[in-house]
Amino acid sequence: MSAQKTLTFHPTGGDLAISAIQNWRITISDETASEQYAAEEFQKWFNQATGLTLPLVAVQRNADVDRTGRIVISGGPTLGDEDIQIAVESEHIRIQGGMPRGVLYAVYQFFEELVGIRFLTVDHTHVPDASALKIPCGSYAYSPPFSFRWSYYRENSENPAFAAKRKVNTVTDAESLGGKTQQQLINHSFHALVPYGTYGESHPEYYALVDGKRDTNTHGGGPQLCVTNPEVIEVAAEAAIQQLTDRPEAANISVSQADTAAYCRCETCETLNASEGTPMGSQLTFVNAVAERIEKAHPHVKVGTLAYWYTRKPPKTVTPRRNVQIQLCSIECCTLHAIDNPECEQNRAFCEDTNAWGKICDDIWIWNYNTNFRSYDLPFPNLRSIAPNVRYFLCNNAKGVFMQANGNGLTGEFSDLRNYLISHLIWDPHLDSDALLNEFVNLHYEAAAPPILEYVTFLHDNVEAKGLHPRCFPTPEDVGLDAESSQTIFDYFQQALALAETSEIRARVEKAAIPAYKAMLVAGGEMPSEKRSTLIDEYIALCERYNMSHAAETQAAEAYFEELRSQ
């Protein structure tokens, strides 16, 4: 279980055998829904692993109760929101976590680390026979370094209970699951603060001047704002303050650019940007002005803005106010290599900007990209860079990480494996990513695992050998696919299918094999029309069987299937 070592352990000597617990009871304070659910989850998974069903006993919080023969599960009011403390002694076990989520996370961590349960996918939990298990006595503790963790997969958003098992704290308000962090994702928000539909006709001067004309294009949440217009500052601030008044639980609010490069080129904006050496000069000046007004009405709320695309480079002299957050976006980076890999020239500018922001801001968040938005199901070689990237963000004092993947789609390339890896690593960046990957593949695909592991190695080595630097919108050529490599990949999955020993394992391999079919269709070279037609039919059948909803970020799967059928 080396991949799972998250809890800091201080031994007290001796072991607690599961057989010694068979007459114990689970003691809970049922004052909160999350504590009650955590206890029920403990009872459920303890039974599945050991065959023992321990009764639940409710007591008043802080009641003077003899702990002997009890497993005490409770929220720790003095702990951080998601901190974990576990004590294993010969006569009792105490599982505590911060409120509201930490107590549930503590239960799951207990089973993962001390019992060996693995929450692999929504419909696959590996439960070992723990009836003869002995747990070392001592105290265990952990405090996650990121307070905002989002492995952006639809598997999580559609299954909040599974997301809680993966300790993704951004998807549900359910009280039993501990709710979600009140830190919202810093995102494009100009369209919500100064809606073009409201002000465009009466105040065109509120919007970006581009090529001598006020922009009217609403693509990407545009048009951008004229951020040096004093009236725009007041309108945006008033809208933001109202949003926060309507949502008093919010910890932050986005005041950030639209997703378009058509920023304002009016004389005032351009002069400020020229003096600051970046369009972030006018952008951050605007955000600071809005943040100053927000602070007066909501002094404990942070104001977040993206450092994205043309605003990623920090200004020469303008610095963020104390209530401003910066969310750095790595969209230009190579996804094969670690962001801080000194030999990858493509990533150097991002590192320079990250270091520069770290000198002027103590509230930095990360938006990182972990899929091919052009083709969700094409082989995507970034499995080696996920862990070093997360560790790089941690070393640069990031407080939260949004790992964007195919969150609007189902059945993307290795979505199950990637979610397992990403969610583990943003919970604990120091885990062994190779061990995690091997663990998932071996448990999930069993006898079919060896050729799948060989595929992972081949995919990454092939791109590396060709000297490629794919980003997050790569073509087949960008990820090293040609007729020869596509056939090699296809063969690996045919081998895996042949090794699948049960219908359940075969189904998992079939789902994972979809990218191999896609590689053959888009990069497999010339082939007889009959063979291609068969491949198309088999590919579509697999996609439909495993509920692939999107072929790309902006293309539904069915629309892509129609394209293939018409070829």
pLDDT confidence of residue 62: 67
Confidence band of 1 (pLDDT split at 50, 70, 90):
very low
Average pLDDT along the chain: 96
Q: Are residues 192 and 112 in the same domain?
A: no
In a domain, 381, yes or no: no
pLDDT of res. 59? 85
Range of the domain at 467: 443-566
In tens, the pLDDT along 169-178 reads 999 999 999 9
Number of domains in the chain: 3
Q: Which of 291, 318, 345 is the last residue of a domain?
A: 318
Q: Which of 265, 285, 318 is the last residue of a domain?
A: 318
pLDDT in tens, 302-354: 999 999 999 999 999 999 999 999 999 999 999 999 999 999 999 999 999 99
Percentage of the chain lying above the pLDDT 90 cut:
95
Respond yes or no on whether the N-terminal peptide bond of residue 195 is cis (omega within 30° of 0).
no
Domain containing 93 — which CATH number? 3.30.379.10
pTM for this prediction: 0.95
Written as one letter, the residue type at 105 is Y
pLDDT (0 to 100) of residue 63: 64
User: Would 158 be classed as within a structural domain?
Assistant: no
Task: For residue 211, count CB atoms less than 10 angstroms from its CB and return exposed for 0-12, middle for 13-18, buried for 19 or more.
Answer: exposed
Q: Which residues contact 185 (CB under 8 A, 6 or more apart)?
A: 148, 150, 170, 254, 402
* 499: in domain: yes
Residue 323 lies inside a defined structural domain of this protein: no
Q: Do residues 131 and 50 share a domain?
A: yes
Mark 80-117 as b/e (b = at least 16 C-beta within 10 Å). Answer: ebbbbbbbbeeebbbbbbbbbbbbbbbbbbbbbbbbbb
458 lies in some domain? yes
| Residue keyed to tokens 């105040």 | 203
Shared domain for 111 and 233, answered yes or no, is no
Over residues 533-553, the pLDDT tens digits come to 999 999 999 999 999 999 999
Residue 6: which pLDDT band, with cuts at 50, 70 and 90? confident
Domain-embedded: residue 227: yes
Residues 83, 330: Cα–Cα separation, whole Å: 29
* pLDDT for the residue 321: 98
pLDDT greater than 60 at residue 2: no
26 with 93, same domain? yes
Residue 174 in any domain: the answer is no
* CA-based torsion, 165, 170, 171, 174: positive or negative: positive
Quick one: 12 and 121 in the same domain? yes
Q: Domain check: are 78 and 9 in the same one?
A: yes
Both 11 and 101 in a single domain?
yes
Indicate if 103 and 214 belong to the same structural domain: no
pLDDT in the model for residue 64: 66
Helix (H, G, I), strand (E, B) or coil at 230: helix
Q: Please check whether residues 199 and 102 belong to one and the same domain.
A: no
Cα separation of 287 and 306, whole Å? 10
| Confidence at residue 67, expressed as pLDDT on a 0 to 100 scale | 82
Structure tokens at 35: 């504590």
Residue 527 has pLDDT above 60, yes or no: yes
pLDDT by residue (tens digit) across 417-440? 999 999 999 999 999 999 999 999
From the list 114, 151, 106, the residue with the least C-alpha distance to 417 is 151
| High-pLDDT (> 70) share of the chain, % | 99
Query: Of 85, 108, 143, which residue is a domain's last?
Result: 143
> What's the pLDDT score for residue 37?
96
For the segment 469-486, the average pLDDT, to the nearest whole number, is 98
Same domain, 214 and 268: yes
User: pLDDT band at residue 391, thresholds of 50, 70 and 90?
Assistant: very high
Are 234 and 122 in a shared domain? no
d(CA 167, CA 370): 18
Is 179 a domain residue? no
**Do 115 and 191 belong to one domain?**
no
Strand-strand pairing, 56-58 and 25-28: parallel
pLDDT tens by residue, 190-240 = 999 999 999 999 999 999 999 999 999 999 999 999 999 999 999 999 999
